[in-house]
Amino acid sequence: MTISARDIYDQVIGLRDDVRSLVQSNVEVDSALADHEDRLRAIERWKYSIPAAVVTSLVTAVVTFIRGTGGA
């Protein structure tokens, strides 16, 4: 069996198309991964800011209550 230059060329062209497809898939995966990372970071910021907001609100309410009852 003889492998011709045309057979090699056809295989190289097929490989080129496969590589282009993989590169495009990689770009799409990177984009999706970045989007998921952004969403996770937003959830984490929200999750960790809630306790601080609750503590601040409670302290403000207690101070307001103490000032209201102490001055009356």
- pLDDT over 80 at 72, yes or no: no
- The encoded tokens of residue 39 equal 């969403």
Helix (H, G, I), strand (E, B) or coil at 2: coil
Q: How far is CA 34 from CA 15, 23, 24, 28, in A?
A: 28, 16, 16, 10
Supply the mean pLDDT for the chain.
90
Q: How far is CA 60 from CA 13, 57, 63, 68, in A?
A: 70, 5, 5, 12
Question: Residue 53 has what pLDDT?
Answer: 81
| pLDDT 10s digits, 30-39 | 999 999 999 9
